Structure 1
C-alpha cells in the first residue's frame, strides 16, 4: 500500500504549468516538521516535493495557497528517473496529490471590506473581509 498524508508549510509560491497537450499541473515543496527535537532542542523539517495533476485542482491550489501557508495533502509517493541536460540520471521522489485541504485562511485577493459578511452570515475571523468560495471552486 502506498498512501501518505503530509501536513506542513508551503516553501515557495506554487508553480502552475500546462503540458503540451494542455493538461494542468501544479508543483511545490512542503516543509513537514518532524515529531521529535534534534540534539540542539529544535525541530528539523523534511522538504517534500509534490505535484497535483488536473487543471481544476491545480487552479484551486494556485488561487488559494501561497508561500508560508499550512497545507495538508494526501496521495502516494512516486519515484521517477530522468536524464538531465548534462546527461546525468536524476532520481526524483515526490508526492502525487490525490486530495488536499485548503489552508484555513485563503491567500489575499486584493483589498476587501474588513467588516463584510459572507452569504452564510459569518465574519471572516482573520479580518480580511468575506471569504467567497463558490462550490465550483471545490475539488469535490
Structure 2
C-alpha cells in the first residue's frame, strides 16, 4: 500500500509552532495549492491543505517561512478524529510532512557578501539546517545553469510588486 503526497504552494498564514508536553516541537500551516484548471468564470481556484511537521523541521518552518512563502511538502495523508465540545465526532484530514523545502531564496537583505551560492551549501550563520560544517563540499565551478546568486538574473532585490488582493489566500 502507498500513502504519499507531494505539494507545492504558498502558506496562507504564518506557521504556528507549539510543543508537546514532552517538549517535541510541531508546526502547523496551511498551503494554498492552485488547481491546474479554471472554473466556468475562467478563474483558477485553489485548495487549502492543512499540514503538520514535527521536530527540527518544525522549528525551521516556523523560523524561516511566513505567510505567502512558497514551499514544497513531501509527506503522507493522515486522518484523525475526536469528540467535539458539542459531543459530535470531528474528523480531520491533514498532511504529515516528512520534508518541507523552502522554494524561494531569502530576501537579499540577508546576504552579507557575494559568496552566497544559489542551491549550494548553506552558510553557517542563518543556516536553517543547523550549524554543522562537517562534510561540506566546496561549491562547484559554474556549470550549466546558475551557480552563484550574482549570476542569477532573477535574484534582483528579492522584492515582488504584488498586493494582498492578488494572492489566492
TM-score by length of 2: 0.66
| Aligned match of 1:133 | 127
Q: Identify unmatched segments of 5+ residues in structure 2.
A: 119-124, 133-169
- SS of equivalent residue, structure 1 residue 61: helix
* Residues 113 and 45 of structure 1: CA distance in aligned 2, closer, same or farther (over 3 Å): closer
Structure showing greater relative contact order (alpha-carbon pairs closer than 8 Å, 6 or more residues apart):
1
| Aligned match of 1:39 | 40
Tell me which stretches of 4 or more aligned residues in structure 1 moved more than 3 Å.
Answer: none
Q: Does 1:14 align with 2:15?
A: yes
- The answer to whether the 8 Å contact 1:65/1:103 transfers is no
- The answer to whether the 8 Å contact 1:81/1:89 transfers is yes
Q: Identify unmatched segments of 5+ residues in structure 1.
A: 125-130
Distance in 2 of aligned mates of 1:4 and 1:105: 24
TM-score by length of 1: 0.79
| Aligned match of 2:3 | 2
- The answer to whether the 8 Å contact 2:57/2:100 transfers is no
| Aligned match of 1:127 | none
Return the index of the structure with the highest Cα Rg: 2
Report the structure, 1 or 2, having the larger strand content: 1
Task: Note the C-alpha offset of 1:113.
Answer: 7.3
- The answer to whether the 8 Å contact 1:65/1:106 transfers is no
| Aligned match of 1:128 | none
| Aligned match of 1:71 | 71
Distance in 1 of aligned mates of 2:41 and 2:72: 27
